[in-house]
């Protein structure tokens, strides 16, 4: 009897020890990279994405004809601290969820009376990188907005939907097979923590949208259009999936 209760106590103790196993198992792509690529991201003098940030700082202060500069309304770029960590968010003017790029373009059209930049435009990426950098080190904090819920749910459905000639969903690689290999490349968990980021494969800065379209082409599906509802919905779901992880913008990835 005494032995039995000792067993019980041992089991209880083990159970308690096992409790912290519910800890966060999410890993940023940063943790999966080689040491040299990690060093590149850590060192602001070696991270080529900082070239775009430099451009962004100039654009921030540049005054377009008959309009005000970003700095005239928002002040120093540091005032944008925490903003990028919230996006995608609901936009009152457009009455739909928008990502940071669309939001910057909306500001440009509404307040600067300039034409919107096309997707992946270098100047748009530069401003995105500058605004994103201000949130570096902060936790990703998707807004608690009821209007976003149906879009986030749709994003999750898209994440789970098998697409393309290869009939693969995002989930099958990035949840079920994360840590495995696709050819020589390691499959990351797919947390969008550092966009826009400098990808060595692109030799340039690119947005999350570009990366998503990349993956879709990879499974031979028709990629969703830049700025489309589906793209923002997927981005919304990815942000909620990475909630609480650290913003790394502008990151470097292989």
Partner 1 sequence: MARTLIQLPATARRGEVIEVSALIAHPMETGYRPGADGRVLPRDIVRRFACRYNGELVFAAELHPAIAANPYLAFHTVATDSGTLEFEWTGDQGFRQVERRPLQVT
Which residues of this chain interact with partner 1, rule CB under 8 A? 44-46, 48, 50-51, 54-55, 200, 203-204
- Residue 177's SS3 state is coil
Q: Is 7 a catalytic residue?
A: no
**Are the C-beta atoms of 119 and 103 separated by less than 8 Å?**
no
Both tokens assigned to 159: 């994440």
Q: Which is nearer to partner 1, 60 or 159 (CB)?
A: 60
**Closest distance of CB 41 from partner 1, Å:** 13
CB distance 238 to 174 below 8 Å: no
| Shortest spacing between CB 38 and partner 1, in angstroms | 15
Catalytic residue chosen out of the listed positions 73, 107, 170, 215: 215
Alpha helices per DSSP H over the chain? 2-18, 29-32, 35-42, 49-61, 70-74, 83-86, 100-112, 122-133, 149-160, 170-171, 208-218, 229-241
**Closest separation between CB of residue 191 and partner 1, Å?**
25
- 48 vs 227, beta carbon nearer partner 1: 48
Toward partner 1, which CB reaches closer, 23 or 203? 203
Q: Identify which of 226, 222, 215, 201 has the alpha carbon closest to the alpha carbon of residue 171.
A: 215
Which of 172, 15, 192, 11 shows the shortest CA–CA distance to 87? 192
Q: Which residues make beta-bridge pairs with 204? A: 199
Q: What is the DSSP string of 48-90?
A: THHHHHHHHHHHHH---TTS--HHHHH-SGGGGTTHHHH-SEE
Least Cα distance to 208 among 105, 84, 50, 116 occurs for 84
Nearer to partner 1, 43 or 145 (CB): 43
Cβ 55 to partner 1 shortest distance, Å:
7
Residue 200 C-beta: closest distance to partner 1, Å: 7
Based on CB atoms, which residue is closest to partner 1, 44 or 76? Answer: 44
Catalytic center residues: 215
């Amino acid at each position: 009897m005494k032995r039995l209760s000792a067993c019980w106590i041992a089991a209880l103790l083990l159970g308690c020890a096992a409790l912290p196993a519910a800890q966060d198992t999410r890993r940023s792509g940063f943790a999966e990279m080689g040491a040299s690529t990690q060093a590149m991201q850590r060192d602001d003098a070696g991270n080529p994405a900082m070239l775009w940030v430099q451009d962004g700082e100039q654009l921030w202060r540049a005054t377009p004809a008959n309009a005000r500069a970003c700095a005239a309304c928002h002040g120093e770029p540091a005032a944008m601290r925490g903003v990028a960590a919230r996006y995608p968010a609901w936009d009152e003017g457009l009455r739909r969820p928008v990502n940071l790029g669309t939001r910057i373009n909306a500001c440009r059209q509404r307040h600067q009376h300039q034409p919107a930049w096309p997707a992946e435009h270098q100047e748009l990426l530069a401003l995105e990188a500058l605004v994103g950098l201000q949130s570096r080190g902060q936790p990703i904090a998707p807004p608690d907005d009821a209007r976003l819920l149906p879009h986030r749910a749709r994003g999750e459905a898209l994440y789970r939907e098998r697409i393309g000639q290869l009939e693969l969903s995002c989930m099958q690689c990035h949840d079920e097979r994360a840590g495995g290999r696709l050819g020589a490349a390691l499959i990351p968990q797919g947390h969008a923590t550092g966009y826009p980021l400098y990808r060595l494969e692109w030799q340039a800065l690119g947005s999350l949208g570009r990366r998503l379209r990349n993956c879709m082409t990879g499974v031979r599906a028709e990629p969703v259009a830049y700025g489309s509802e589906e793209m923002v919905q997927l981005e919304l779901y990815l942000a909620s999936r990475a909630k609480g992880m650290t913003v790394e913008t502008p990151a470097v990835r292989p």
